[in-house]
Amino acid sequence: MTLQHPYTVMTVCTGNICRSPMAEIILRAQFERAGLTDRVRVESSGVSDEEDGHPIDPRAVRVLRARGYEIPAHHSAHRITRAEVEESDLFLPMTFSHMRALLRLIPSDRRGDVHMYRSFDPDLPRPAAGQEDKLDLVDPWYGGAHEFDVAIDQIEQGAPYIVDWVKRQL
């Protein structure tokens, strides 16, 4: 981390229109409250390009606004790029399948930079190796308002622990 390159947190989901932008917005707000906006940058991406160029899902926007979060003026869904892999310090996949996809893109000496988003929550049990999917953040895409509420609850629950962890890395 330098002034030219702040500590970069990359949230990752499938298409970069629901979970990862929600986590990006929530974490950015948490880092701002912690007074770390000059030292920490939060970004989001997907492991797929299926939603390339699309904005944040309107259902995600609705639940974020209902909780008082500011929505960025522009969001363009995209697949994580090689440059983003190189520039990011912490990767937060939303599910175990996202983690597996990321690990194929990240150099082996950087695998320790990948942590499932919900793995920071001390109230969740630590899953056995190979059962990390027990920490998957719910996928609201095929659901309705309830699934988006569950997703934002899960994201908000883990956010303070992620902020605390990053503070210790700075």
* Residue 101 covered by a domain: yes
CATH code of 103's domain? 3.40.50.2300
In a domain, 69, yes or no: yes
Selected catalytic residue, list 19, 28, 59, 79: 19
Domain-embedded: residue 144: yes
Domains identified in the chain, total number: 1
Torsion angle of alpha carbons 3, 91, 140, 73, nearest 10°? 20
Please determine, for residue 3, whether its predicted confidence score (pLDDT) is greater than 60: no
pLDDT for position 2 = 52
What does the pLDDT look like over 125-169, one tens digit per residue?
A: 999 988 999 999 999 999 999 999 999 999 999 999 999 999 999
Assigned domain for 1 exists: no
pLDDT tens digits for range 89-103: 999 999 999 999 999
Contacts of residue 31, defined as CB under 8 A and 6 or more positions apart, other chains included, come to 37, 40, 42, 163, 166
Residue located via tokens 């303070």: 160
52, 121, 139, 149: the active-site residue:
139
Q: Which long-range contacts (CB under 8 A, 24 or more apart) does 132-136 make?
A: 132/96, 132/99, 133/95, 133/96, 133/97, 135/96, 136/94, 136/95, 136/96
**Domain membership of residue 100 as a residue range:** 7-169
Would residue 13 show up in a list of annotated catalytic residues for this protein?
yes
Residue 18 annotated among the catalytic residues of the structure: no
Task: Tell me, yes or no, whether 74 lies in a domain.
Answer: yes
Average pLDDT in the chain:
96
Within a domain: 25: yes
Q: How far apart, in whole angstroms, are the C-alpha atoms of residue 78 and residue 49?
A: 6
pLDDT at 140: 97
